[in-house]
Amino acid sequence: MKYILIFVLFLSILIGLFLLSNLNFLFFHTLIEFSIIVTLIFVFVIALASKNYLSSYLVVLLGISKIFVGLVEFLHTLAYKGMNIFPSYDANLPSCLWILARYIDALTLILLFIFYKRDINSTVFVSLYTVFTGIMLYLVFAGYFPVCYIEGVGLTVFKKISEYFVSSIFLISAYFVYKGSFFAKNIRIFFFFHLFFLALSELFFTFYVSVYGISNVFGHFFAFLSVSVLFYILIKEGIMKPYNLILNELITTKNKVEQLNKTSQAIYSIIKHDLTNRITSMIGFLELYKLERDDKYCDNLEENLNIASIELENLTALINQDFVASSYSINLKKEIHKLKKQFKTEFII
């Protein structure tokens, strides 16, 4: 039921965006691109903040890479035809920036599959991506990057080959993710759809002539779906999982405390019973001593005193046990010590 509601919600959003694209494509493009960029920022933040809880460190590195994808996507949005933020550039610039973002995605997947059994330092990872992204952006804005779009002609051969190349990487990665053990079973299917939607998105970007064309609309739809699935994975693994883990730990601790309380009560009852018997025995010996002392009959006095002394020693040993080492037991030790001292002093014959 939950997934049906999510599907209906997404379908409603996509229908609304499609209608918007027919009314004002530039507004549609800006809205959906900024939605993708904001989602990518959240993916990056959640991945970085939840790296100790995620089931696979590959998820962390994938999340970190998305901040660089988001940066290039942001520049792509600003450079789009009609925005007039980079007036000296034509429609080739946003196409170059778009394919650069996809190359970063593809490069990330290749690196993750190569090094998935090795520990990759996140600082080194970020540093390398910063240098790589900076160099590639310089090449794009300086005009050294291969041309991707020609006004009135459409996509270049380089752009089409690049789209097919990265789509192939996404589809192959989706296959290995689904069949392999790179990710936990509970999120494997979601990663499959993340990569599958990303591949479909790129395929729609291989045959448009106008940057305002219908294939561009569907390409952005699937790009939005792909990022949304990744966002769900990070929410599930980075927020919900740690919350459930903490909740389970609290429940476990509560059960342990309750069990400890029950055990303590049982031990207390045993100690109370044992102390009561020993004290009663001592009182009996003392009363017997008084009677024998009054009657001037002391044949068994020494034996009774020895027994009482042993009882005192046993009582002291019992009080010294670790499980009654509290302020109450410390005071009780002092009282027993005083009683023992008085007892031995008073009953010397």
pLDDT digits (tens, 9 = 90+) for 115-159: 776 666 778 888 899 999 999 999 999 999 999 988 878 889 999
Beta bridge partners of 150: 154
Cα→Cα distances 343→202, 281, 296, 306, 337, Å: 96, 14, 19, 11, 10
pLDDT, position 145: 94
Q: Give yes or no: residues 331 and 208 share one domain.
A: no
Regarding whether 17 and 145 lie in a shared domain, the answer is yes
Looking at the fold, whether 19 and 162 belong to one and the same domain comes out as: yes
199 lies in the same domain as 267: no
The reply to whether 181 and 274 lie within a common domain is no
**Is a pLDDT exceeding 80 seen at residue 277?**
no
Per-residue model confidence (pLDDT) at position 286: 61
pLDDT in tens, 285-327: 666 665 555 554 455 555 666 666 666 666 666 655 544 444 4
Determine the pLDDT at residue 169: 93
Confidence of residue 348 (pLDDT cuts 50, 70, 90): very low
pLDDT of residue 98: 92
Is pLDDT above 80 for 45?
Answer: yes
Confidence category of residue 261, pLDDT binned at 50, 70, 90:
confident
Residue carrying structure tokens 């499959």: 192
**Confidence (pLDDT) at 327:** 45
Tell me: do 238 and 293 sit in the same domain.
no
| Average of per-residue pLDDT across 58-80 | 87
Average pLDDT, the chain: 76
Average pLDDT in the 12-29 region?
Answer: 81
Are 243 and 308 found together in one domain?
A: no
Six token digits for residue 107: 């490069």
Query: 82 and 228 share a domain?
Result: yes
Which residue among 220, 250, 280 closes a domain? 250
Domain interval for residue 9: 2-250
Q: Are residues 233 and 300 in the same domain?
A: no
Cα dihedral 241, 243, 246, 247 sign: negative
Provide the pLDDT for residue 230: 82
Q: Are residues 76 and 195 in the same domain?
A: yes
| 227 and 297 housed in the same domain | no
Which of the listed residues 224, 250, 276 is the one where a domain comes to its end? 250
pLDDT value for 307? 65
CB-CB contact of 276 with 282 (8 Å):
no
Of 89 and 57, which is predicted with more confidence? 89
**By C-alpha distance, which of 210, 187, 159, 152 is closest to 56?**
187
What is d(CA 162, CA 179) in angstroms, rounded to the nearest whole number?
A: 26
Q: Tell me how crowded residue 318 is: count the other CB atoms within 10 A of its CB.
A: 16
- DSSP lists the bridge partners of residue 154 as 150
State what percent of residues in the chain have pLDDT above 70.
Answer: 65
Cα 134 from Cα 128, distance rounded (Å): 10
Task: Measure the CA–CA gap between 165 and 88, rounded to whole angstroms.
Answer: 30
The Cβ of residue 78 has, within 10 Å, a number of other Cβ atoms equal to 16
**Looking at 250, 277, 295, which one is the last position of a domain?**
250
Q: For residues 211 and 91, give the distance between their C-alpha atoms in angstroms, rounded to a whole number.
A: 8
Give the chain's domain count. 2
Same domain flag for 292 and 263? yes
